[in-house]
Structure 1
Amino acid sequence: MDDLDHRNLGVKLKLWHLQEDAPGMVFWHPRGYAVYRVLEDYVRRKMRQAGYAEVRTPQLLPKEFWGRSGHWDKFGEHMFRVDDGEQAMALKPMSCPCHVQIFNKGLRSWRELPIRYAEFGACHRNEPSGSLHGIMRTRAFDQDDAHVFCREQDVEGEVACFIALLDEVYRELGFPDYEVALATRPAVRAGDDATWDWSEAKLGDAARRCGLVPQINPGEGAFYGPKLEFALRDRLGRSWQCGTVQVDGVLPQRLEASYVAPDGSRARPLMIHHAIFGSLGRMIAILLEHHGGVLPFWLSPDQVAVAPISKDQAGYGADVLAAFEDAGIRAVACDGADTLSRRIVAAHEMAVPVMAIVGGREMRDGRVSLRERDGSQADVPLAEAVSRLQARARPGALVAEALYARAYGFTP
């Protein structure tokens, strides 16, 4: 592994660890979980703004349930099974059948559609040990899962809205160029050819409506429907498959989802499955490798390290730390016994983007010296330091970070 491999970076930056007796299971450390939560909250806000209601569904469900959905036959060998003495159970590999159960509670009208659910679903898949790769491919992961229940006439518009949302998120994360592929019907599938023809056409039309020209991946669709697959290309030119959107008429039928149509009859909804990241762990790994371990300010686990020059400024340093924390900035004290230069090196090694240095003059005048990773410094009043860093801490603020860098003369 090289120094920029996320498996090395995770250990070096004290973000997480993996261990041999729990293969494919991630132990998130405080710094790593801070990044995790920032990314999770960022997507949560995006989904809420797009009209999705967040839900939470069980991890353990009966084998019979997975049999009805078709997942036991298709994925059974990769599901973690539990026998409680009364019935066979399994940990969920995905959240979609659970969301149908929520939709099915109560009589639904066509006037309510589209109905949109989102979940950070904790999923477990018994992947072969040889396919595991750091936190990019694990046996336990959280998926930014979302589902839309809608009518045929809603499908193209809903898919196009998702693509626009995905495009916005990828751009704000620093991936303006991504690849898209249309995965078509596999040899073993559910549903008739007419349904597959219609679904594949709708996905292709929605992609083109958004200015995308998907390449065709023959036979790579899910067993219940075709999908658009989105892959990110990092700064090293490597491609990583992340987001997906799928059209499904099979699962609503198998799990007996229905709504009251305008003429009073019972009709089946269509179901759109989608995820922007696919796995939060995978996205964090991609971001780490893409940025060489130095995450953008808004994503950094520790955004600013407060360093008093001597013990005489310890009290003022604590006040500066509190001011940053009260403003929602992730700040950490850097006030050990080492020399200031060694503390700066230590913060640099942990990829902390900004040092807030306070000496006797800063304490006397109520100021702080902000030192960037490239060595540039700015001596400003504490209130201005807080407002500057607060602006950079806004989620997705890559553009703001670049403008800030140009305005204040440093390299982000």
Structure 2
Amino acid sequence: MYGFETVAAQTTGTNWALIGPLIGAIVAIVGLLLAERHRKMESVQTVVDRSVDARIGQVFREFSEYESSARAALESSREMENQFQQRIEDSESLTNRLDELLGSGREAVSTLENSKAMIPALLLEHARASADIPTALGFLSSLANTPVASSDEFERGGDRAYKLRNYELALRLYERAVTVTPQNANATASLIRMRARLGRVPVQEAIKEISDLALAHPKGRTVLIEAANTCMDFDDFESLMTLCGKMLEISPRNTVAWRNLAIARGELNAQPDSVEDAYEKALNYIEPGPSESGDLANTAKAYVGFLTARRDFNKAREIIVQGLQANPGLEILLVLRGDLEVASSGDMNLAGWCYNEVANNGADPGIQLVAITKLEELAKRVNLMRRGIISTQSATGAPFSGYSQSTEGGERPPAAA
């Protein structure tokens, strides 16, 4: 046992002598390897650091470039924003200006439309006020050609042309009135009358048509007046009496129907009492309102004409005086008073005063012209009487024919009625 241990000890001592240097060499090699590794690691770190630094530098430069580009873009954006804002402001200014222009345009259009709407009224006013007949007819011709007049304006133009005895022009204006408003019964009645008067339709056909129209509009004063006028235009007093009788069955207090019934009875030589009774009812049934003056004038004129023809001067004078008391400014009554004085008593001073009052102060140019004519005729008579060429008795007789009921009849209502 001890021998084995001795051998082992000897062997171990020999090995350590060999291993010691070997271990030292190994340690040295490991140290060199570690040193080399460390050196390589430092070299790699240096390369990495340099690479990283280079990359960082590149990134920094790119960032700087991006930053510069971003700043330039920002500046450009701000400039664009400023320009856009300016454009918005300019646009708002232009919009405001456009609104102003549109407002001015609308105002101008409105003014133009109002001006156009005023044209017919101005033409009617000038036609009514003009004392020169050709000038008045020129205004009415312009009215007939205007595209903007109302049915009522065309109708009133026709009324004026009728009073000036231009029946063709009246016909054109009534046609325009009915074209604009076919339901305008007044204009339709006037159109039927003008067509009959100018021979465009058979007389009896026109009388039937206008009579039916009047009976279909029992409250239509003008329609009945035009129907009565149409009958009188052709001396068809039988048809007039029939029409008025039918109308009075519908409207017993119709003053126009009673007046025209009285005219028809007088023309057909009915009993004077029945004629006077119809006239008295016509006067009694006159209603206050826009048509009051026209009804009083028309009825008084026809009634006074009937009484004067019968030489009932006192009754005629009573009718005129009552009419003037009810309506002192009714010019036709002054003319009738002058006619009555000439026809009844030869009181030329009073007759002259009546005519002169209307001639100088009358509001209706038509009646003024009649008064002037009568005044001139009266002056000639007075001069002849003073020279002894005619006697005062020759001054008496029927009234002058300026207001003959059978032709004009006073039946045409004022335009405002």
- Which structure has greater helix proportion? 2
Larger radius of gyration: 2
User: Per chain length, whose mean CA-contact separation is higher, i.e. which structure has more relative contact order (CA < 8 Å, sep 6+)?
Assistant: 1
Same fold, judged at TM 0.5 (above): no
Q: Give the structure-1-normalised TM-score.
A: 0.24
